[in-house]
Amino acid sequence: MPLSHVADDGSVVMVDVSEKPKTARIAVAEGTITMKRETFEAIRSRTLAKGDALATAQIAGIIASKQTSSLIPLCHPLFLSHVAVSFTFQEETPAILCRCETKTTTETGVEMEALTGCSVALLTIYDMCKAMDRGMRIGEIHVALKDGGKDGRYVG
């Protein structure tokens, strides 16, 4: 299969989606940040010196999703009809799972927007907590769901 972002002469191109039909599309990305128990409890109890890490990370993830085409050179700018960033405490690890869901009705998918939102939300948690825990680890960022378009449904 030829690479979609490479022209015949080897130059880089943005994929032409003008002939594709507009369809409803959804993507969900997930990732985790692991940390010391003390950091985990401070986030949960909202006692960090910098404030509420999850509220700040939620806003950052939404903004990042909307700015994806400014960050990833060949991404199309999309109108997002919905972005939701949520968090789940994973008690045993301790870690926080971030989930970013994006939706649109357009000619191309929204998985890059979901991945960007998830990544920036997790980076924001790191930034808010780094004074007490520089050993936090961000990882396992992946597309958990993609639906819509010619390829249909993908569950990762």
Residue 3 forms part of a structural domain: no
Is position 127 annotated as part of the catalytic site?
A: yes
- pLDDT reported for residue 39: 97
The pTM (predicted TM-score) of the whole model is 0.91
Residue 72 forms part of a structural domain: yes
Residue 17 forms part of a structural domain: no
Catalytic, out of 127, 133, 147, 151: 127
For 71-79, which contacts have Cβ atoms below 8 Å and span 24 or more sequence positions? 71/116, 72/112, 72/116, 73/12, 74/5, 74/12, 74/13, 74/14, 74/15, 75/112, 75/113, 76/14, 76/15, 76/17, 76/106, 76/107, 76/108, 78/104, 78/106, 78/108, 78/110, 78/113, 79/104, 79/106
Residue 7 forms part of a structural domain: no
* CATH code for the domain in which residue 66 is found: 3.30.70.640
Give how many domains the chain has, as a whole number: 1
Give me the tens of pLDDT residue by residue for the chain, a chain 156 residues long: 555 666 667 677 777 777 788 889 999 999 999 999 999 999 999 999 999 999 999 999 999 999 999 999 889 999 999 999 999 999 999 999 999 999 999 888 899 999 999 999 999 999 999 999 999 999 999 999 999 988 889 898
Expressed as residue numbers, the domain containing 60 is 23-151
